A and B are shown apart, each in its own frame.
Chain A
């Protein structure tokens, strides 16, 4: 008849570990938000960086936000392509129609 106690204790332990991790992450995030995050934001501003340096295999994966919007072939962000990273990059959905047609004044 102690089985349910063991289960409850183990479950509580897991929940406690999770909460511990969450609190730690939160604290760590606070620290980062006070130091690293603003520093990186500043760096992006100072160097005028528009993209994250994650995929370095093609132009449109290195700078997905700057990818040529009209280029019909490999550079077209939604083309069938052969770079694996492209499979995590969806074509950008641009909200503003400014680039496709000039709106009348």
Chain B
């Protein structure tokens, strides 16, 4: 086992580094000093040269994105930090903020400087009460020490930071929905184009980056792009923080260079499958990325390799299922998440997720029909890339991949009217289904009814 790399997690072993004194003692804000000594354009070039790619899911080259933000538009330019982290299985942003918040804040200030933004918003997931408090404190610290506010470090550059709390919707992590929410509207995605870089927040140029993406930036400024490219493969340089959860011995965030085989992360870092059981399925990048199986454990965890294996690196959230997990149940539960989080704007997502949850639930409960499997296949086709945003594509991932890899399990449910894995029959499942879905499965409580009841 090779020496673990610690870049993003370098300060994690020391609890004190949460606050600014220790952060400064450990080289903090050096990246910002270097950035401010350069022109914004030079900073962008450095980040471009590093090959850093966005960690929020799509993997878009960060420096290129920065260079898309137009200058001299006569409008303000905004930086928005996407800290809505809600993808199931993903928790690296949260720990990055809880353990080393100044690291990403420094990255954010550098990013803002690079695009010449003077106002930055941090969109913090609503449920993140504790990380939100930490954010408030570290932002105050940064103001106190002159890393935020007017004339930062005597450079003449000004930046104000506003922390905004979300209200608990997964869709608000999608960048355009996030902007709507930030503006005080319903969190629903907007048409692109215009792209946020050109017409984002308040119809002004806006750069949106993920917390993990920004956490890399100070290190790139301090150590240079070549150093950064020293980790990981050519097209996916750097390290990645993998959130490992599910049936493993030691769930948690593990930093490893991009391209590290999944087996290393799951078996060595996270201690292998819980109780020594057999691994059945895993997601490489959260619930929105297609399942892979034990066969894929030697695939490198980087954008290209995972894609070649038929999935996506997504957020790098590895969720592990073992041989005792029923894949129909797992899929139903995940789809229930998407049905719940669908913003409702577009038909294939809103109605499609509603429908397949019910079909999956029926199969799970032993009431599946042979024609349900082709029906689900069809719905995968009818939902994938048909929605307004990528949420529905994410919803299709677990369904299409489990139907592909574990079709026999579905078929057994239909044939035997019970779960071939857990042995549960209709009674048990029905009871559980009732608990989870309640009779509300058919009656949606409405705001208007509620309002009426309240008078």
Partners in one complex: no
List A residues at the B interface (Cβ < 8 Å): none
**Which residues in B have some Cβ–Cβ distance to A below 8 Å?**
none
